[in-house]
Structure 1
Amino acid sequence: MSRPDRFVRVEGVPLHVVVEGAGPAVVLSAGLAMAWFDWDPVAALLAARGRTVIRFDRPGHGLSAPATEPPSTAGEARRIAGLLDALGLGGAPVTVVGHSLAGFHAEAFARLHPERTAALVLVDSSVEEAPRTVLPAALRTGAARALGRAVTAAGLPAALGPALRRGAVRASRAGGGAGGAGDPAARDLVRRCYRTGRVWRGALLENSRYPDMAAELLALRGERPLTAPATVLAGYDGSAGGAALRWLGRQAALADALGARFEVAEPSGHLVMLDRPHQVARAVLHTP
């Protein structure tokens, strides 16, 4: 593991991976349309505290190759396992950390691979108590692919991609909006990733299967117990707004359902790893 930045092939797809540090392994997986560099502050803290930190881009995200098929919850859990195998880390259990949508994948990994899971940390994870699908999955997937091709053909990623990325990050952080926290990512990395249609097509494809992945995880909870210690870390901006308080309530209910420790990161927007990296690192280090 001399080179921190590399590509490994998992189930036929080249994945971009960054491995740093030494010690017990931690896998960091970011939410929809995010990239490996969004974990930079957390990764640095964990590597400094004696952890091997593994960050990777899912297919169609960051610098990874496009997806060859629509994602599934079990499939993404299998991808994490395959990534660990490809890195030669098939032995000691790992702490798996999932942010937002990737919380589905991290929890599925912990349930499907209990012998490989030391701990589970969910960072402002997606929550769907009663997922429903209105349109058939194949129709949603086809529409997402068609939209992705159209957006790319129109040149929108090259023209607007980096600006849209920066706007989304600003809106998802504490104090978002004019004068608030911005996007700390290096401009060259943002351009390299978000000027490509590949990333936007990947995000659209993943988003099209969101309700299916939520339903799959809900079924999995009834079939495979969670045996690893877990922490649910919820972002909270400190406001008394109804939406913010309802979100905290849903995150607390998720923790109760999982038998997990519940913590609140405040002040923080959805991108807790950028707003409260020290708290994310502490949650990882203190679970169990």
Structure 2
Amino acid sequence: MTAGTPGGRFVRVDGVPLHVVVEGSGPTVVLSAGLAMAWFDWDPVAALLVAHGRTVVRFDRPGHGLSAPATAPPTAAGEARRIAGLLDALRLSGSVAIAGHSIAGFHAEAFARLYPERTAALVLVDTSIEEAPRTVLPAGVRTGAARVLGRTLTAAGLPAALGPLARRAAVRASRTGGPDLAARDLVRRCYRTGRVWRGALLENASYPDTAAEVLALRTGHPLTAPATVLAGYDGSSRRGALRWLARQAELAARLGARFEVAEPAGHLVMLDRPGLVARAVLDADAG
């Protein structure tokens, strides 16, 4: 382990240096952010969980935040193994509550299904949903194109020129109100690098395969831990918003999970309603 950010460090898991921040004491909670997001996007939730006597583990997947570049397309099982390996490297034994936002909901669910003995609770925060994932191009073609595009954008200098601006715009568009809360120096440090853009492109290219893998896991690996689906809802009567809410409710029913709504909230529920996210984790972990 080597030093990273204040309060953070780098831990090598399967040969890849991962940036991780561990805070607090008590039962362990693992927080995993969505596509192209970073550990600091959980800051408000982490502070609340630490105040309620939890050890909070936040980490950046390869190609995200400050972690090393992604070397291979991600898979649901591979990300579940990464979480287990990270806990081993941190010497955190016993079961953990795990919360995954957006695409990381796939990873969190895979962990809960593949490592039931290590899972105390599962919370899916405005999680990605694919009832019947389909692809047009083979996985190799999609990931190859993502790699080429990532290298091209980096060579053109776009991450350095536009990365922080793109990050700020995406966060504003994904909230019901309020700016990006992340410190400017951290945003520049992460989003001015081609590494993060390449990691996000690679993860996005593998999205349908990851979704299909989770659907397959649901057949032979039952959930044994209490689960919660927490959906973000902006309170509007827009058809898209109501349909998304209905899909989240349907997912909760399929998983046998508790269904809760964070309102008003955009996709970045942990920034819009951190108290509700923390409460969902604490309630799920309480049984």
Using the size of structure 2 for normalisation, the TM-score is 0.97
Match of 1:149 in 2: 151
Long gaps (5+) in structure 1: 176-180
Match of 1:236 among 233, 236, 240: 233
SS of 2:250's equivalent in the other structure is helix
Match of 2:221 among 221, 224, 230: 224
Q: Which amino acid aligns with 1:128?
A: E
Match of 1:246 in 2: 243
Confirm whether residue 64 of structure 1 aligns to residue 64 of structure 2: no
Match of 1:118 among 117, 120, 123: 120
SS of 1:280's equivalent in the other structure is helix
Confirm whether residue 6 of structure 1 aligns to residue 9 of structure 2: yes
Deviation at 1:4, TM superposition (A): 2.9
State, as a whole percentage, how many aligned pairs show the same letter. Answer: 80
Match of 2:27 among 24, 28, 43: 24
Match of 1:88 in 2: 91
SS of 1:286's equivalent in the other structure is helix
Give, in whole Å, the separation in 1 of the partners of 2:254 and 2:48: 29
Give CA-to-partner distance per residue, 1:178-209, whole Å, 9 cap, x none. xxx11010000000000000000000000000
SS of 1:274's equivalent in the other structure is helix
Match of 1:283 in 2: 280
Match of 1:139 in 2: 141
Give, in whole Å, the separation in 2 of the partners of 1:105 and 1:27: 12
Long gaps (5+) in structure 2: none
Confirm whether residue 212 of structure 1 aligns to residue 222 of structure 2: no
Give, in whole Å, the separation in 2 of the partners of 1:173 and 1:68: 31
SS of 1:204's equivalent in the other structure is helix
SS of 1:130's equivalent in the other structure is coil
Using the size of structure 1 for normalisation, the TM-score is 0.97
How many residues of Structure 1 are paired with residues of Structure 2 in the alignment?
282
Deviation at 1:124, TM superposition (A): 0.2
Match of 1:178 in 2: none
Give, in whole Å, the separation in 2 of the partners of 1:94 and 1:13: 23
Give CA-to-partner distance per residue, 1:106-138, whole Å, 9 cap, x none. 000000000000000000000000001110000
Q: Which amino acid aligns with 1:11?
A: D
Give, in whole Å, the separation in 1 of the partners of 2:225 and 2:24: 23
Match of 1:170 in 2: 172
Give CA-to-partner distance per residue, 1:212-245, whole Å, 9 cap, x none. 0000000000010011000000000000000000
Give, in whole Å, the separation in 1 of the partners of 2:24 and 2:186: 22
